[in-house]
């Protein structure tokens, strides 16, 4: 093991409160496409053209097909060695009375499926819906989420139409509501949940070591968080297959697939 990794493992063994940020790169080796890579496309759209309230209002059928496709992909994916190492590290640290907070930009639920606890999902979850009428938030892991969306999310770029009638899209089952459901996901141009942000800021203030894994640090405000921790003089280690716009802000950068580098850092 190289000396730099040894020194970071030393930092972790002395730390009492570790903060772990993750992005789509932590799920890449589970077969879930990242945004920046080729995977950022579905049919003839870029993910961020569909992850907006405007797209949903204009064509709820198209946006629901996009998210149904991702629900199917993520439900068929397995947590990888990086997700497992993070969950085991959190579990092991808790038995020593230390704290590990996991803050993810991902909506794929793979940290939780690997056994991680109290995961802070900055951008929501593929498996939660929110009613646009009564605002009820519910967990929903049904595949398909409704009969009309069965097999409807295929990424084939030749599929040109998305015309599921509104009344066949997912609707609220709360008493006398029946409002249209949307994914409980933060779209571009939407604010992050205040409560989630305050829990994140608290973890940023309290931590004495930080890891940032598999993110291009391009999307705000998430991109600001690890650099702000580094500004406090806290050791931050970036795990990525390449350098990012934030790399120079961090004390450590471990280059390579995170299923190799993260277990090397976290396994006792
Ligand atoms: C907001 C849910 C206030 C949806 C997501 C101009 C300048 C600055 C900011 C803005 C701007 N214009 C607009 C904005 C604000 C905008 C933004 O930041 N835009 C970017 C594109 C510039 N932000 C917002 O809109 C946010 N809200 O600011 O509210 C506001 C209000 C009104 C008006 C304006 C502002 C909301 C952002 C949340 C959007 N929702 N997700 C969905 O998933 O469908 S964001 C989504 O994209 C992800 O959650 C994630 O956050 C982001 C993708 O980033 P990554 O996860 O990092 O993935 P990426 O593919 O980029 O990188 C993968 C990395 O992994 C790479 O570095 C790669 O090298 C690495 N990797 C790959 N394989 C591996 C690996 N590493 C290790 N091992 C491997 N095997
Ligand atoms: Zn409702």
Q: What is the pLDDT of residues 103-122, one digit of tens each?
A: 999 999 999 999 999 999 99
Paired tokens of 107: 């909506």
**Residue 91: HSE in the Cβ half-sphere, 13 Å Cα cutoff:** 12
Mean pLDDT across the stretch 230-238?
98
User: What share of the chain has pLDDT > 70, as a percent?
Assistant: 99
Residue 243 near ligand 1, beta carbon < 6 Å: no
Question: What pLDDT, on the 0 to 100 scale, is given for residue 37?
Answer: 67
Give the mutation target among 26, 62, 186, 188 for probing the ligand 1 site: most ligand atoms within 8 A of CB: 188
| Mean pLDDT, rounded, of the chain | 96
Residue 25 near ligand 1, beta carbon < 6 Å: yes
**Who surrounds ion ligand 2 at CB < 5 A?**
131, 133-134, 136, 172, 174, 177, 179
Tens digit of pLDDT for each residue in 20-46?
A: 999 999 999 999 989 876 667 788 888
Secondary structure letter of residue 145 according to DSSP: S
Question: What pLDDT, on the 0 to 100 scale, is given for residue 56?
Answer: 98
Q: Which of 69, 83, 111, 123 is catalytic?
A: 123
**Angle at which helices 194-206 and 222-231 cross, to 10°:** 20
Residue pair 17/202 in contact (Cβ under 8 Å)? The answer is no
Residue 241 near ligand 1, beta carbon < 6 Å: yes
Beta strand ranges found along 35-191 (DSSP E): 41-42, 45-46, 99-104, 120-121, 124-131, 137-139, 181-185
User: What share of the chain has pLDDT > 90, as a percent?
Assistant: 88
Nearest CA to ligand 1 atom 9: 220
Residue pair 127/139 in contact (Cβ under 8 Å)? The answer is yes
Question: What pLDDT, on the 0 to 100 scale, is given for residue 144?
Answer: 97
Higher pLDDT, 142 or 41: 142
Question: Is the alpha carbon torsion for 212, 215, 216, 221 positive or negative?
Answer: negative
Q: Is 158 helix (H, G, I), strand (E, B) or coil?
A: coil
User: With bands split at pLDDT 50, 70 and 90, how would you rate the model's confidence at 155?
Assistant: confident
| Span of 60-69, 123-132, 152-161, 174-183 with lowest mean pLDDT | 152-161
Question: What pLDDT, on the 0 to 100 scale, is given for residue 39?
Answer: 67
- The 10 Å Cβ neighbour count of residue 267 is 13
Cα separation, 247 vs 137, whole angstroms: 36
Q: What backbone torsions phi and psi does residue 134 show, to the nearest 5 degrees?
A: -100, 0
Nearest CA to ligand 1 atom 31: 189
Mean pLDDT across the stretch 141-146?
98
Give the mutation target among 45, 220, 254, 265 for probing the ligand 1 site: most ligand atoms within 8 A of CB: 220
User: With bands split at pLDDT 50, 70 and 90, how would you rate the model's confidence at 199?
Assistant: very high
Please say if the pLDDT value at position 58 is more than 70: yes
Mean pLDDT across the stretch 49-62?
96
Mean pLDDT across the stretch 225-229?
98
Farthest CA pair distance, the chain: 63
Secondary structure letter of residue 169 according to DSSP: S
Query: What ligand has the least distance to the C-alpha of 71?
Result: 1
Please say if the pLDDT value at position 158 is more than 90: no
Q: How many angstroms is it from 139 CA to the middle of ligand 2?
A: 14
Question: What pLDDT, on the 0 to 100 scale, is given for residue 1?
Answer: 66
In the residue annotation, 171 being an active-site residue is answered as no
Q: How many angstroms is it from 40 CA to the middle of ligand 1?
A: 11
Question: What pLDDT, on the 0 to 100 scale, is given for residue 35?
Answer: 85
Quick one: residue 233, left, alpha or beta (phi over 0 = left, psi -120 to 50 = alpha)? left
């Amino acid at each position: 093991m190289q000396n730099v990794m040894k020194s970071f493992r030393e930092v972790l063994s002395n730390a009492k409160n570790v903060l772990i940020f993750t992005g789509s790169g932590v799920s890449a080796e589970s077969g879930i496409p990242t945004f920046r890579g080729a995977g950022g496309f579905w049919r003839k759209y870029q993910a961020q053209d569909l992850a907006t309230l405007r797209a949903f209002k204009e064509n709820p059928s198209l946006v629901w097909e996009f998210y149904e496709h991702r629900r199917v992909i993520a439900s068929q994916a397995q947590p990888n060695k990086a997700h497992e190492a993070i969950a085991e590290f959190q579990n092991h640290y808790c038995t020593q009375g230390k704290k590990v907070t996991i803050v993810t930009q991902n909506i794929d639920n793979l940290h939780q499926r690997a056994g991680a606890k109290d995961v802070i999902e900055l951008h929501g979850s593929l498996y939660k819906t929110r009613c646009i009428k009564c605002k009820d938030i519910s967990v929903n892991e049904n595949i398909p989420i409704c009969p009309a969306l069965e097999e409807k999310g295929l990424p084939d770029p030749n599929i040109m139409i998305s015309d599921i009638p509104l009344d066949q899209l997912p609707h609220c089952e709360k008493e006398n509501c029946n409002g249209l459901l949307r994914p409980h996901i933060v779209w571009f141009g939407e604010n992050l949940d205040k409560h989630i942000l305050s829990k994140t800021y608290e973890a940023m203030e309290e931590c004495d070591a930080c890891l940032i894994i598999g993110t291009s640090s391009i999307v705000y405000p998430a991109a600001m968080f690890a650099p702000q921790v580094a500004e406090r003089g806290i050791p931050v280690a970036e795990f990525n297959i390449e350098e990012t716009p934030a790399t120079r802000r961090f004390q450590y950068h471990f280059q390579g697939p995170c299923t190799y580098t993260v277990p090397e850092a976290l396994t006792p």
